[in-house]
Amino acid sequence: MNYIVFDLEWNQSAYGRSGEHPRIPFEIIEIGAVKVDENYNIVSEFSSLIRPRIYRKLHPSIRAMLNYDEEDLKKGKPFKEACQEFLDWCGEDYMFCTWGASDLYYLQSNMDFYYMTKLDFPLKFYNLQQIFADLYDSEHNICKLEKAVEMLNIKSDEPFHAAINDARYTARVMAEIKPMDIADRYSYDIYRHPRTKADEIIAYHAGYMEHISTEFSSKHEAMEDKEITMIRCCKCKKKTSKKIKWFQTSQNTYMAVGKCWYHGNMMAKIKIKSAGGSDDNIFVIKKIIPADKKTVENIRKKQEDIREKRKQKRQSKSSVES
Which stretches of the chain bind Zn ion, using CB under 5 A? 233, 235-236, 260, 262-263
CB-based contacts of 53, cutoff 8 Å, min separation 6: 27, 78, 79
Q: Which is nearer to Zn ion, 288 or 299 (CB)?
A: 288
Task: Report in angstroms how near the CB of residue 245 gets to Zn ion at its nearest.
Answer: 20
Q: Where are the beta strands (DSSP E) in the chain?
A: 2-11, 27-36, 42-49, 94-98, 124-127, 187-188, 201-204, 209-212, 241-250, 253-260, 264-274, 282-290
Task: Report in angstroms how near the CB of residue 139 gets to Zn ion at its nearest.
Answer: 22
CB-based contacts of 308, cutoff 8 Å, min separation 6: none
Task: Report in angstroms how near the CB of residue 264 gets to Zn ion at its nearest.
Answer: 8
CB-based contacts of 283, cutoff 8 Å, min separation 6: 193, 194, 212, 213, 214, 215, 216, 272, 273, 275
Q: Which is nearer to Zn ion, 194 or 258 (CB)?
A: 258
Dihedral angle of Cα 20, 22, 23, 29, to the nearest 10 degrees: 20
61 with 48: CB under 8 angstroms? no
**How far is Cα 248 from Cα 256, in angstroms, rounded to an integer?**
9
Q: Which is nearer to Zn ion, 212 or 266 (CB)?
A: 266
- Residue number with the smallest Cβ distance to Zn ion: 233
Task: Report in angstroms how near the CB of residue 274 gets to Zn ion at its nearest.
Answer: 33
Task: Report in angstroms how near the CB of residue 106 gets to Zn ion at its nearest.
Answer: 38
* Backbone phi, psi, residue 277, to 5°: -85, 180
**How far is Cα 90 from Cα 67, in angstroms, rounded to an integer?**
26
Written as one letter, the residue type at 232 is R
Q: Which is nearer to Zn ion, 148 or 260 (CB)?
A: 260
Task: Report in angstroms how near the CB of residue 290 gets to Zn ion at its nearest.
Answer: 9
Task: Report in angstroms how near the CB of residue 188 gets to Zn ion at its nearest.
Answer: 23
Q: Which is nearer to Zn ion, 11 or 265 (CB)?
A: 265
Q: Which is nearer to Zn ion, 77 or 205 (CB)?
A: 205
Q: Which is nearer to Zn ion, 25 or 290 (CB)?
A: 290
174 with 97: CB under 8 angstroms? yes
Half-sphere CA count of 155, side-chain side, radius 13 A: 2
Left if phi > 0, otherwise alpha if psi is -120 to 50, otherwise beta: which for 62? alpha
**Chain centroid offset of residue 320 CA:** 42
Task: Report in angstroms how near the CB of residue 255 gets to Zn ion at its nearest.
Answer: 19
Q: Which is nearer to Zn ion, 187 or 265 (CB)?
A: 265
Q: Which is nearer to Zn ion, 115 or 262 (CB)?
A: 262
Dihedral sign, CA of 305, 306, 309, 311? negative
Task: Report in angstroms how near the CB of residue 246 gets to Zn ion at its nearest.
Answer: 20
